[in-house]
A and B are shown apart, each in its own frame.
Chain A
Amino acid sequence: MTGHVDSLYVYPIKGLSPQRLESVPLEPGRGVPHDRTFALARPEGRYEHGMAAPLPKDQFFMLARDERLAGLATRLDPATGGLTISVREHPVLTARLTTADGARAVSAFFARTLDCAEGQAPLLAHAPGRRFTDVSVVSDAMMNAVSVINLASVRDLERRVGAPVDPLRFRANLYVDGLPPFSELDLVGKDIRIGAVRLRAVLNTKRCAATEVNPTTARRDLSVPRLLMREYGHAEMGVYAEVVTGGEIRPGDAVRFGAAP
C-alpha cells in the first residue's frame, strides 16, 4: 500500500495552534522537534516549576475541557521562544517564553482568557526532555511517538456523518493520504516507511472530547468520539508511531504501510 505525506504539523504548546511545517527532521526514538514542549498547567494542580515527571493531561489546560483555546491563533518560534497570539489576525500578545517576564505575561494572558479565579494563573510548564502529550504518562517512548492521521479515514467519517470533519480536530503530526480508510488501525507492530525513514506503529489512538472542538470556531459542535463509536464500534482514529530510522520527511514523500516490500 503506497500513499503520500499530505502535511506535517507541530504543536509547540499543548492545546494551542497547529503550526504547519515544510519538513521535519526525525531522529530514532524522538518525536517531532518542539512538539508539545510547553503546556499551561492548572494552578490548583500538581505541576510545579521545573517538574520533569510526567503528569496526566487533566493537570493541564487542554481542548478536551477548554475549547476556548482553539479561538486563539498562536505561533511560537522555537528558535527564539517568541510567541505571538492573535484574535482573528489581530495580535493581542507578543512575549518571549524563555524569559521570566515573557512567561509571566503568558500566564497573565491565559489567566484572563481561561477565567482563572482571582490571584490564580496557569503555570507555563516546560522541562528539558519532557513533552506534554496525552500518552506521555504511558512511557517516555510513547511520549516521543509521532501521531499519524490517515485522511481517507477522516473522509470516511465525514461521509458517514454527513458533516465536514476538519482533520485538524485530530491534531496529528503527520497527515497521510492515498491509502485505504482505516488501514492505519491494522499497523501496530508493523512499519510505516517514508523513503528511508522507518516508523513502527505502537498504539491506535483512542479519541477524546478534544476532537469535539471545531478548530475554526472554537465551539464544541461534533461529538466525534460518540460518532466513531456509533459508526465503527470503536473510538479510534489514527495511530502513534515511534521513529526507528531517522531522516528528513516532507509533504509529497511516498508512504508505505505494513512490512517492508
Chain B
Amino acid sequence: MSGTLTVRIAAKRMLTPRIREFTLAAADGTALPAFTAGAHVNVDTPGGATRSYSLTGDPRRRDRYVIAVAREADGRGGSASLVDGAEPGDHLRISPPVNTFPLHRAARYLLVAGGVGITPLRAMYHDLVRRGADVRLLYLTRTPGDTAYRDELAADEAVRLHHSAHAGRLDLWPYLAEPDDDARIYCCGPPSLMDEVHALTMHWRPSRVHFEDFAGVSGTDGTSEPFRALWRPTGQVVDVPATATLLQALRDTGVEVPSSCESGTCGTCRLHRHGGEAEHRDLVLEPHERERYLMPCVSRAPGGATIEVGPVAQAQ
C-alpha cells in the first residue's frame, strides 16, 4: 500500500449544484491499479488537505477512476478546493485504492445511501446487478435536484428514491424489522442516517451491517494523555506528548510511516502492535484486527504506558 499515483483530471461535470464528478486517468496513460466496489482513494486536494473519496465508477475499467465530491461549505476545506479549484487537465496525487467497505457474499443485499453517500453504493449496486444478485438500493436525498445519478438510478425497480423535503424522513423500519442472517446491509451517508440505521439494526447480527464513515476522528482530543512508544526495528523509545499523535511523534524522531487521512479512516498508516495496551480510536480496523494492529494517526496508549509497535510486514 505504499506509493502514490499521479492522475490527470480527464473530465469534470456537475451532478448537482453541490456535487461534481471527476474522472481521473493515469498521468502517463497506463492502466490504473485494480479496485473492488466499496474502495476509496485518498486525494491530496489543491487546498492541501488529504481527503478520502469512494470510487463510484465501474471496477472493470482500468483506464479511469471516477469520484464524486460534495462541496462542504463548512467542512475542512479539502472538498471545496477540489470542487472550485480543480479543472480538467490538472494533475492530482492520490493513493492507490483501499477497500475498507468491501462486499461480502450474501443471499440478499440492502444498500442505504444518503446524499453523496451514494458514491460507494452506486459502484456496489451496479456490481451486484451485473452478478444477478438480489439487491435493493434505498437512496435518500433532500430534493430531486440534490440527487446525484438520479436519471441513471430512477428507472430501476430495485431502487427506491426518497426526497425528504417533500415526503419527510423515510421510515426505514419496514426494511429492517426482520433480521436476516443471510443478508448484508451497507450504509453510507450523513451521521444522522448512519446513526438511525445503527439504532434500527440492534437486533441484527452486527457482522451483517456495514457502515462507511469518512467524517474522521481526532487523535488528540481533550482526553489524550502522554505515553511512550517502543519502535521495535531500532529499539528506540519515543515520547508521545498529549498534544501529538503517535504518528507525529514517530516522524519527529525520523521514523518513516506512510499515512494519508490522518483521521483514522483510510487505513494507510497501520502498524503492527507487538505489545502494550492500545486505545483504539480509528474507524478502520475490525475488532479482531485490533488485537494485532493499531492506526497511529489517531490511536494511542493509556497515559504513562508504553506500547511496542513496528511496521506491518510487506505484503507478498
Contact = CB atoms under 8 A, between A and B. Distances in A.
Nearest to A222: B223
Interface string A109-137: 10011010000000000000000000000
A92 B179 CA distance: 10
A42 to B, nearest CB: 15
Interface in A150-188: 161-162
B300 to A, nearest CB: 10
Secondary structure at the B interface, as helix, strand, loop or mixed, is loop
A218 interface: yes
Contacts of B200: 87-88
Given A112-B181, A226-B302, A230-B223, A92 B203 contact: yes
Nearest to A226: B223
B177 interface: yes
A49 to B, nearest CB: 25
B149 interface: no
Contacts of B279: 223
Contact of B202 (A68, A161, A162, A229): A68
B175 to A, nearest CB: 12
Contacts, number: 57
A217 B202 CA distance: 11
Nearest to A161: B222
B223 A71 contact: no
A217 B205 contact: no
A218 B202 contact: yes
Interface string B208-234: 000000000000001101000000000
Interface string B149-182: 0000000000000000000000001000101010
Contacts of A161: 222-223
A113 B205 contact: yes
B190 interface: no
A230 B224 CA distance: 10
Contact of B222 (A87, A112, A162, A217): A162
Contacts of A223: 223, 279
Given A112-B179, A218-B202, A90 B173 contact: yes
Interface in A44-101: 68, 71-72, 85, 87-88, 90, 92-93
A120 B202 CA distance: 19
Contact of B203 (A87, A218, A219, A226): A87
Interface string A203-231: 00000000000000111000100110110
Contact of A112 (B195, B205, B223, B225): B205
B199 A88 contact: yes
A93 B178 CA distance: 11
Contact of B199 (A85, A115, A217): A217
B303 interface: yes
Contacts of B195: 217
A68 B222 contact: no
Given A72-B203, A112-B204, A226-B225, 13 more contacts: A68-B202, A71-B202, A85-B203, A88-B199, A92-B203, A112-B181, A112-B205, A113-B204, A113-B206, A223-B223, A223-B279, A226-B302, A230-B223
Interface of B: 173, 177, 179, 181, 195, 198-207, 222-223, 225, 279, 302-303
25 contacts: A68-B202, A71-B198, A71-B199, A72-B202, A87-B199, A88-B199, A88-B200, A90-B177, A92-B179, A92-B203, A93-B203, A109-B203, A112-B205, A113-B203, A113-B204, A115-B206, A161-B223, A162-B222, A217-B195, A217-B199, A218-B202, A219-B198, A226-B225, A226-B303, A230-B225
**The 9 nearest A-B residue pairs measured at CB:** A71-B202, A92-B203, A115-B205, A87-B202, A223-B223, A115-B207, A115-B206, A112-B205, A72-B202
